[in-house]
A and B are shown apart, each in its own frame.
Chain A
Amino acid sequence: MFAIFKKEIRYFFSSLIGPIVLILFLLINSLFIWAYSPNDYMNVLTSGFATLEPLFTLAPWMYLILIPAMTMRAFAEEKANGTLELLLSRPLTEFQIITGKFFAYFSLLILTLIPTLIYYFSIQYLSHHSIDNAATLGSYIGLLFLGSSFISIGLFASVITKNQIISLLVSLLFCLLFYFGFSLIADVSGETSIGFIIQQFGIEEHYYSISRGLIDTRDIIYYFCLIATFILITKLALSSRKW
């Protein structure tokens, strides 16, 4: 499992595309939060509030594109190159392969967030340490859960096809659906009780309170269930080649 993990990470940095995508992600975030933004609220300096909330509002949308782009090749490329069979012939279970890849992408996710600590320290400095540390920690946890969900969706999208572009589109679609599609459907459905249930399937609904520093076990379990479900489906799809 660790071998898979190392291989994925190394592969990510082997080409320029990986780091460039990371840089783009950070650049867009930084520009929105510190320099230019469509409204005052998003810009930390003009809003005047000592909070990282703009990051936690913006980042989910950035991950919506970034993570499918990162995970699209996870299985699709191996399938196209025929290396998947090679991988599966090793003394590794399918589950180990999937989790190895999952944690590799999870580490990359953490890597995208580490430079944002600079934002945090800047705000600390500008506000004489009055930023709410606990709430900020909660928000980071929420963002990690959200990103992990996107990763599991991306892995699933990658395992069902050989074509990376199709994988990208499928995971984009599913991420969108899970991120805010359900709340959209709930809004349209009109019926409030059914709408509420539909809404509960959406990531946004569960991200909202964590990102403000309120940890609700229901939200945590939701994320674990979502991730587990997609990993299960991925595993089923991976084993289906033997049928």
Chain B
Amino acid sequence: MIKHKIKDITNFLTGLVAILLAAVLSYFIFLKIDLTEDKRFTLHDSTVDLLENLNDVVEFKIYLDGEHLPADLTRVRNSILETMEEIHDIADGFVEYEFIDIYHSIEDSKTQQKTLFKLQKKGITILPIPYKNDKGELSRIYIPLGAEAFHNGRSIPVPFVRGNKGGKQLTYERAIEELEFEITNAVRKLQQDTLKTVGFLQGHGELGQYDLQDYSKSLFEYYNTGPAFLKDSIGRERIDALNDIDLLVIAKPVQPFTQKEQYIIDQFIMKGGKVLFMLEGAQGAELDSMQKQGLIFASPLETGLDKMLYKYGVRLNKHIVEDLQCSKIPIQTTANGDGRGFQLYSWMYNPLLKSNNNHLINKNLDPVKVEFSSSLDTLPVENIAFTTLYNTSGNNRFKKLPSRISFRETANEKILPENFKEGKKPIALLLEGTFESYFKNRIPPKFSNNLAVNFLEKSQSNGIVVIADGDIGKNWFTPKGEMIPMGTDQYTNRYYDNKKFLINCANYLLNDHELIAVRSKKIKMRLLDSKLVQKNKSLIQVINIGLPIIVIVLISLVFIVFRKFRFSTK
């Protein structure tokens, strides 16, 4: 007996020790498998890199907390918590975080209001949440959808949602999706001492600060932004005009550039400055003037920049793209005259360009929308590599300039696919390599050899992006003066990825590749089709409540019958 006891107990203890060992070991050697399709639990490599190389504590105060959070916000809060836990682990404690319920941590209601107001001023959305208090009265609290990041006494706001695109659920899904990006963005910004500068060129009828408000605001997240002028106040070209600028954005100039201005831009590129060209091949082709007058006359546009680009390896074609893959606009159909008369027509002057998905810049992007676009051709130039980021669909043709474009002709034309076979042409090109100066062999040797002038014939390895449409980065305004983000189709309320594409261009040219990589991570929205739900609600309920019970009843019956059968035959 006693022998049994000793044996059993020793067996038990050995088993226990083995289990304990396995448990302890598992904490040192472990593996995580992310089963989710969208790799929701996997931080991007660049994020991990950034976090692992932190050597100073960055602290986050997250204000999305409290006992009255509604369910959908709780979901957002929980996934934020998940991500923060992981970030904390990876950063080896160099990222600290804290959830703060303003109503709990601050007693005084005046201070509460002040804190909320401060956060709102910093750009964090404050959401009013109705709830029933202890007495059963309807009350309201305000939840900030954001956080603050602290580092070395500096602090910056970390908004979780930007703008109110689409419905509530969509906004929350986006918040979860973009969290990693917002966090790394904040960390990066806090660690950066000198910011790069993006200049928006002015002085040649380019898109101004209002037209480019969306773009410049988005770039302001990472860079200093501001206008850039090639001439001083009395109209003389300044040779050092672009010295402080890292990326020059030239958006839709319509007036010609002087030789000296061309020289400044050329030498800017030779010295390693990046340029994003958004150029029109035609002038006078504007949808709004067309809507006022019914027709427009488009003629070729010569700014002088095209000649420079020709030298670098790109020809800006002087025609207008008509593409069957296009967005729709309302056109008045006077024929039936029933008063309403507006119908959505495919408007082939607004091509929708699908991403070639062949480069970091355009990876995983939705289509972009262009208007009265021209096209590009590449030329055989040494030492330049071309990447076509966007091109026409292939079912397109090109309208020669000058020409007249009217609504009536467009609406009345019978679309025959065989007329749209002029083949694909690039609309957005990335050029990388060593650029040869447009002014090489074009200026007197006396000048170019002068050391004080410091003329460069060739650039070091550099990059520029050329887009054959000036409106791609333009944002519009509602009659009330609210900004409509670029890439919005006002008539169908769809969003195209113009903004992400242009931000990616800037990030790529300025060597901030990891910013793009994080942004391109996409979490699929998994929502029920509300129409289907409404249509089939009762049926689905009946099936889901009834069928499981029937399954169990059937299984039990099988057992009972089986047993009866067995016993009766025995």
Q: Which residues of A contact B (CB under 8 A)?
A: 10, 13-14, 18-19, 22-23, 26-27, 29-31, 33-35, 39-42, 44-45, 47-51, 111, 114-116, 118-119, 122-123, 125-128, 130-135, 137-138, 209, 212-218, 221-222, 224-225, 228-229, 232-233, 235-236, 239-240, 242-243
Q: Which residues of B contact A33 (CB under 8 A)?
A: 544
Q: Once the chains bind, are B37 and A135 in contact (CB under 8 Å)? A: yes
Q: Are B74 and A127 in contact (CB under 8 A)?
A: no
- CB-nearest residue of chain B to A232: B15
**Least CB distance, B56 to chain A, in whole angstroms:** 22
A132 touching B32 in the complex, CB below 8 Å, given contacts A33-B544, A41-B72, A115-B551: no
In the complex, which residues of chain A have a beta carbon less than 8 angstroms from the beta carbon of B31?
216-217
Pick the contact of A221 from B23, B529, B544, B559 — CB < 8 Å? Answer: B23
Q: Which of A35, A133, A243 contacts B5 (CB 8 A)?
A: A243
Q: Chain B, interface size: which category? A: 35 or more
B36 and A213 form a contact (CB under 8 A): yes
B residues within 8 A CB of A132? Answer: 36-38, 524, 526
Name B's A-contacting residues (CB within 8 A): 1-2, 4-5, 8-9, 12, 15-16, 19-20, 22-23, 26-27, 29-38, 40-41, 71-72, 74-75, 82, 169, 524-530, 532-533, 536-537, 540-541, 543-545, 547-549, 551-553, 555-556, 559-560, 563
Contact indicator A215/B15 (Cβ below 8 Å): no
Q: Nearest Cβ distance between residue A60 and chain B, in whole angstroms?
A: 16
Closest to B79 in A: A212
A35 surroundings in chain B (CB, below 8 A): 541, 545
Which residue in chain A gives the minimum CB-CB distance to B558? Answer: A13
Q: Are B528 and A214 in contact (CB under 8 A)?
A: no
Provide the bound-state CA to CA distance between A30 and B548, in Å.
8
Q: Using Cβ atoms and an 8 Å threshold, which residues of chain A touch B71?
A: 39-42, 47
How many Å lie between the Cα of A159 and that of B333 in the bound state? 84
| Alpha-carbon distance A242/B1, docked complex (angstroms) | 7
**Considering the chains assembled together, what is the distance between the CA atoms of A232 and B36 in angstroms?**
35
Residues of A near B526 (CB, < 8 A) are: 49-51, 127, 130-132
Closest 3 CB pairs of A and B: A41-B71, A115-B548, A13-B559
* A216 CB contact (under 8 Å) in B2, B30, B553: B30
Do A126 and B540 touch across chains, with their CB atoms under 8 A apart?
yes
The 8 Å CB contact of B548, one of A116, A133, A242, is A116
| B559 contact set on A, CB distance < 8 A | 10, 13
Q: Which residues of A contact B23 (CB under 8 A)?
A: 221-222, 225
**Per a CB cutoff under 8 Å, which of A114, A133, A240 touches B8?**
A240
- Which residues on the A side are within 8 Å of B529 (C-beta)? 126-128
CB distance from B231 to the nearest CB of A (A): 55
Contacting residue for B27 out of A30, A212, A218, A233, CB 8 A: A218
- Interfacial chain B residues near A13, Cβ < 8 Å: 555-556, 559-560, 563
